[in-house]
């Protein structure tokens, strides 16, 4: 009787472990899908900065919201973060910023972001 119980316990344990691995894989795929969308907090920061840079008037809330939605359609969140990081680091004066101004990868990311921003401005403003 003990052996039959042990066999069933091992089978149950094997099934339980394999179902947990499938669940973990499903959770990771959901996480990757949600990282493609720019989070709301990032969008709000963008809209606040955009409104402050454009006469600080309420009329620009709709235009700036349209702009970040356009960017969200054209870029993944990871691309957006990389581009924003490079854009902010390019503003540093001196030797520290040369890596973000002169490397081909940084130049490509910066150019892509500038193009998307220009398209968003043409679309929304």
Candidates 90, 4, 78; CA nearest to 37 is 78
Q: Alpha helices, DSSP H only, in 35-58?
A: 40-53
Dihedral, 88, 92, 95, 101 alpha carbons, nearest 10 = 40
The chain-wide mean pLDDT, for the chain, equals 82
- Asked whether the beta carbons of 71 and 119 are under 8 A apart, the reply is no
pLDDT in tens, 109-123: 999 999 999 999 999
pLDDT in tens, 61-81: 999 999 999 999 999 999 999
- Asked whether the beta carbons of 76 and 36 are under 8 A apart, the reply is yes
- Asked whether the beta carbons of 99 and 69 are under 8 A apart, the reply is no
pLDDT-derived band at 31, boundaries 50, 70, 90: very low
């Amino acid at each position: 009787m003990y052996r039959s119980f042990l066999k069933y316990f091992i089978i149950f344990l094997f099934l339980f472990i394999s179902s947990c691995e499938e669940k973990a894989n499903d959770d990771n795929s959901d996480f990757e899908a949600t990282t493609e969308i720019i989070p709301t907090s990032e969008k709000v920061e963008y809209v606040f900065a955009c409104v402050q840079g454009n006469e600080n008037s309420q009329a620009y809330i709709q235009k700036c919201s349209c702009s970040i939605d356009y960017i969200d359609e054209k870029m993944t969140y990871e691309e957006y973060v990389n581009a924003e990081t490079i854009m902010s680091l390019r503003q540093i004066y001196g030797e520290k910023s040369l890596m973000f101004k002169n490397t081909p990868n940084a130049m490509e990311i910066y150019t892509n972001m500038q193009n998307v921003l220009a398209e968003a401005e043409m679309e929304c403003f």
